[in-house]
């Protein structure tokens, strides 16, 4: 028995070194990109690409830098203040090199989160897919390069990966050694994601409640359970309190109502557009908090009064969320996606006829294969894990829950493939499990 345990420890140590080497090489390559990223306006080195709301985050961070956490800037109320706070702290520490340090920290955090998850997976029956998943997660162009973009998406993805890793660590370690520490740490990490994007409150609270149920089915140590939820919800409350003190508006972010009415109504497209779509909701002479609440109510009212049109619109939002990064079904605010710089199709289009071909029937067919094929692999992967039982079933349930809960939050506003980035590591994981299942079935036949 002692020899067997020693051999197992040696193999695990070897696998972890191999994992560290693979991640280290890929991360080093990404870090070498940072000095070569140029400002799109003047061509000078910037250290990071601006995301879709990059200028807004930059301006909000400068407002925080000048006025403090209770700055009255409307930008800190329109969007969540978490990412501007992150930028303002780095601006205080790094000065003009703030974008360089942002890319550096986001990249290292994302790589380490993948490494930490890989370490936990190596201790389970997922060992065979650990290295393929690690490589895919680090080489997926949009997901990986998002760590070099001024935007919250990469940070949210990293923090949720850490939380899933801590769950696996908790379930594979003797309870007497860890107790509730991983759960409490995760409540803080997921609370930070709410500061970065309040949409994360649904996946975050469902993840923590699932963890508590798995651990003790809500019956054991009720105090720890309540503490975890209070810590998590405290981050959402702190956003509201900040906005109340700074501007007198009791809300987390005013953009929710605006996006909700933009994504509802007979003229809505299901995704973001700068045209006059959505429904008309009179908010004249209302405060920002009252206006946001009324717009949200207007959107809900339209869906209840127009269920058929509403279902069609929700379908459109769903496929736009999962749409390719380029093509006729593309939907969202990812025009600044760094991947598009070297996208194998987009970067090689040189004539109008080529563009017409890509945006025509053939392009639509390929796009639908992408979307429906991704959903199919995801469900095959989940079914495989569910049937396996044990820890595999738990991880399958949790990852699918994170995907679906994120999906549901998008239906409130509008379909945007940028919203897919925070949960992409989990969809890629299930899709890889699905691919391995299909491949194994094919070999058996």
Alpha-carbon distances of 138 from 27, 35, 63, 382, 425, rounded to whole Å: 8, 19, 34, 22, 10
Q: How far is CA 274 from CA 263, 269, 313, in A?
A: 12, 11, 17
Residue 337 confidence (pLDDT): 94
Contact (CB, 8 A) for 261 and 278? yes
Grouping H, G, I as helix, E, B as strand and the rest as coil, residue 49 is strand
- Phi/psi at 245 (5° precision): -70, -40
Half-sphere exposure in the Cβ direction for 362 (13 Å, CA): 7
Q: Which of 334, 329, 340 is nearest to 367 (CA)?
A: 329
- Average pLDDT per block of 10 residues along the chain, 445 residues long: 62 85 95 87 76 93 93 90 95 93 97 97 91 96 96 97 96 74 93 95 95 77 82 93 90 86 90 78 86 91 94 96 95 92 91 93 96 97 95 96 96 94 97 93 60
What pTM does this model have?
0.94
How far is CA 295 from each of CA 241, 287, 298, rounded to the nearest angstrom?
A: 21, 12, 5
pLDDT at 56: 94
| Continuous segment of H or E residues that includes residue 150 | strand 149-150
Give the residue extent of every domain in the chain: 13-253, 306-445
Contact criterion met (CB below 8 Å) for 159 and 189: yes
Output the pLDDT for position 283: 85
Nearest to 109 by CA among 187, 182, 193, 230: 193
Q: Which residues pair with 149 in a beta bridge?
A: 49
Q: Are residues 144 and 30 in contact, defined by beta-carbon separation less than 8 angstroms?
A: yes
CA angle 388, 394, 398 (to 5 degrees): 130
pLDDT value of position 150: 96
Coil, strand or helix at 330: coil
Q: With contact defined as beta carbons under 8 Å apart, do 317 and 303 qualify?
A: no
The predicted structure's pLDDT at residue 38: 84
pLDDT at residue 222, rounded to an integer: 76
Contact 333, 416 (CB under 8 A): yes
């Amino acid at each position: 028995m002692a020899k067997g345990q020693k051999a197992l420890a040696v193999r695990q140590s070897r696998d972890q070194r191999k994992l560290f080497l693979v991640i280290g090489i890929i991360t080093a390559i990404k870090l070498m990109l940072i000095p070569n990223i140029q400002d799109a306006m003047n061509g000078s080195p910037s250290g990071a690409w601006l995301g879709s709301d990059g200028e807004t985050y930059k301006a909000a961070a400068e407002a925080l830098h000048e006025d403090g956490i209770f700055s009255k800037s409307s930008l800190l109320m329109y969007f969540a203040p978490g990412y501007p706070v992150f930028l303002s702290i780095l601006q205080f520490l790094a000065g003009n090199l703030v974008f360089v340090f942002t890319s550096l920290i986001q990249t290292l955090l994302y790589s380490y989160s993948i490494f930490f998850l890989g370490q936990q997976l190596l201790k389970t029956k997922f060992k065979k897919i650990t290295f393929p998943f690690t490589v895919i997660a680090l080489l997926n162009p949009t997901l990986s390069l998002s760590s070099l973009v001024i935007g919250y998406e990469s940070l949210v993805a990293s923090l949720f990966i850490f939380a899933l890793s801590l769950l696996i660590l908790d379930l594979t370690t003797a309870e007497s050694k860890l107790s509730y520490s991983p759960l409490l740490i995760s409540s803080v990490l997921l609370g930070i994601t709410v500061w970065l994007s309040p949409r994360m409150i649904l996946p975050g609270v469902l993840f923590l409640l699932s963890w508590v149920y798995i651990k003790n089915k809500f019956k054991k140590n009720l105090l720890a359970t309540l503490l975890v939820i209070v810590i998590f919800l405290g981050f959402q409350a702190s956003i509201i309190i900040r906005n109340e003190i700074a501007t007198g508006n009791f809300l987390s972010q005013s953009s929710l109502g605006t996006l909700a009415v933009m994504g509802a109504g007979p003229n809505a497209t299901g995704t973001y557009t700068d045209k006059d779509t959505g429904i008309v909701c009179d908010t004249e002479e209302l405060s920002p908090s009252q206006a946001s609440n009324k717009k949200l109510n207007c959107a809900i009212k339209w869906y209840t009064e127009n269920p058929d049109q509403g279902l069609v619109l929700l379908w459109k939002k769903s496929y736009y969320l999962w749409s390719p990064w380029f093509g006729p079904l593309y939907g969202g605010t990812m025009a600044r996606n760094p991947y598009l710089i070297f996208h194998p199709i987009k970067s090689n289009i040189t004539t109008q006829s080529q563009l017409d071909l890509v945006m025509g029937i053939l392009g639509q067919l390929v796009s639908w294969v992408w979307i429906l094929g991704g959903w199919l692999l995801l469900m095959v992967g989940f079914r495989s894990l569910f049937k396996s039982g044990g820890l595999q079933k738990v991880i399958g349930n949790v990852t699918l829950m994170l995907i679906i809960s994120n999906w549901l939050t998008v239906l409130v506003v509008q379909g945007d493939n940028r919203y897919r980035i925070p949960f992409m590591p989990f969809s890629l994981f299930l899709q890889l499990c699905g691919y391995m299942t299909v491949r194994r079935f094919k070999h058996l036949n």
